[in-house]
Amino acid sequence: MKQLLIVDDEIEMTNGLKKILSKKEGLALTVLNDSRQALDLLKHQRFDLVLSDLKMTPVSGIEVLKAVHRSYPDTPVILLSGYGSIETSVDAMRAGAFDFLEKPFSARKLFEVIDRALNLSYDRALTDAEQTGPEEKITGIIYQSRVVGDLIALVERVAPANMNILVTGESGTGKELFARLIHKLSARSTHTFVPVNCGALPENLFESELFGHEQGAFTGASKTKPGLLEFANHGTFFLDEIGDLQMNMQIKLLRMLEERTIRRVGGRREIDIDVRVIAATNKDLEKAVKENSFRQDLFYRLNTIAIHIPPLRERKEDILPLANYFLSHLARQEGGEPRRFSPETEEALLEYEWPGNVRELQNLVQRAFYMATGQVIQKQSLPLPCNNNEAEFMCGDVMHLPYHQAKEAVLEQFEVAYLKHHLGMTNNNISKTAQRCGLDRRSIHRLLKKYKIDEKD
């Protein structure tokens, strides 16, 4: 269970957050309405994530943030505010907040930020005793393969230079992790790292989110709001899934890269922007350029230095070090005895192809940790999907059933497992799931309804 501390002096707000977050599995909530009490608690208890209001008395959210970072520098803090002050939100990000949410915010937005913060668990604990070499302590990347070692050496060479970088690789390989490493090793490391998922923001809101807007620029723009690029000023701006960026936004992003200025939606004043852009994609952008779905000039601007992260199946030497790291991290987090994998389990981990890469491995180890009954995790506790190297199904014992019943049972098991896997890989985004599966949205909804699967679960 992930330990989450919520601090807000408004009881209605904490009750609302508790109601929303209690629906999310894997979270243990501690809720406080007294910020002074939060400081006392943080002196002797560590949390995986802290959600704190910004404007509180007698202790502000910035003071809570500083207290967390003094005692637990690897614990992410998300600050919340209903005041919408540009200065305080910028100060919050520069003080080291993982993210800043302006009230009111949607439950979906809250879940997205929390998932993003908690998914950084394996790259944050940089001083863990289990990290076996100086490279891991410096970079936070667990590896044993030569190819990753060569990538880190490349990053160390290019990080200090002020040039744009394109990071490519399949989903789940750790593109954001490498982007954060580049930021950490650069001259901009004392400023903000701002990540943006180009596929997660609706097209009609993307320009406003990136560039900001002036009061009255459109219906609902009741006050001036700075864009994410302003938050990232003098720091690093990470554009994930850049291949999903709409053509009209590609033009505006290119203009920002060329002129180093932005203009808020509805504004007339040019604002100077000094950011390093790191873009990431799991798509073939050169192919997209040829198909006229991605601008060639923008591609050249972003692709000053290219870093390709190979999938986990092509660097199998990293599987067991990563799996053992995740396992030991969970044991320390839960306060239990150390656990280990049996030789048969290790063999199964090495044989699997890992279509979801490191993210899939982390999730699978977590499930195996809670399913195992002893200190040694046996193969049967490993919730691996059907082995994609074999022409047989291992999803359940159906051999005793008549042929047609067995076939129907295996098909159902496959469709449910396949659908849940791809929903998990896309954070329950129906459009992206349909794209990954080669189906249309209607087919995905039909399967969800057929098997009574809630995509938000």
CB 82 within 8 A of CB 12: no
pLDDT at 16 over 70: yes
CB 294 within 8 A of CB 189: no
CATH code, 2-118: 3.40.50.2300
Residues 6+ apart with CB under 8 A from 321: 132, 142, 143, 144
Could you count the other beta carbons within 10 Å of the beta carbon of residue 113?
Answer: 19
- Select the more confidently predicted residue: 370 or 13: 13
Q: What is the pLDDT of residues 166-195, one digit of tens each?
A: 999 998 899 999 999 999 999 998 888 999
- Select the more confidently predicted residue: 390 or 415: 415
What pLDDT shows up at residue 303?
Answer: 93
Q: Confidence band (pLDDT; 50, 70, 90) for 357?
A: very high
**Distance, C-alpha 69 to centroid of its chain:** 21
CB 346 within 8 A of CB 340: no
Burial of 17 (0-12, 13-18, 19+ CB in 10 A): buried
Q: Confidence band (pLDDT; 50, 70, 90) for 88?
A: low
Report cis status (omega within 30 of 0) of the bond before 58: yes
What pLDDT shows up at residue 282?
Answer: 93
**92-97-98 Cα angle (round to 5):** 140
- Select the more confidently predicted residue: 369 or 166: 166
Ordered by start, the domain boundaries in the chain are: 2-118, 159-310, 386-457
Report cis status (omega within 30 of 0) of the bond before 355: no
Q: What is the pLDDT of residues 56-70, one digit of tens each?
A: 888 988 899 988 888
- CA dist., res. 427 & res. 107, Å (int): 14
Average pLDDT rounded to a whole number, residues 18-28: 85
Q: Confidence band (pLDDT; 50, 70, 90) for 33?
A: very high
Q: Confidence band (pLDDT; 50, 70, 90) for 205?
A: confident
* Highest mean pLDDT of the ranges 289-298, 330-339, 371-380: 289-298
At the topology level, CATH places domain 159-310 in: Rossmann fold (3.40.50)
What pLDDT shows up at residue 392?
Answer: 41
Average pLDDT rounded to a whole number, residues 280-285: 94
Burial of 146 (0-12, 13-18, 19+ CB in 10 A): exposed
Would you tell me the crossing angle of helices 430-437 and 441-450 to the nearest 10 degrees?
Answer: 100
SS3 label, residue 259: helix
Q: Which of 260, 252, 270, 38 is nearest to 162 (CA)?
A: 260
Check for a shared fold between 2-118 and 159-310: yes
Could you count the other beta carbons within 10 Å of the beta carbon of residue 315?
Answer: 19
Q: What percent of the chain has pLDDT over 90?
A: 35
- CA dist., res. 51 & res. 92, Å (int): 13
What pLDDT shows up at residue 141?
Answer: 84
Q: Confidence band (pLDDT; 50, 70, 90) for 1?
A: confident
Average pLDDT, whole number, for the chain?
Answer: 83
**Distance, C-alpha 333 to centroid of its chain:** 20
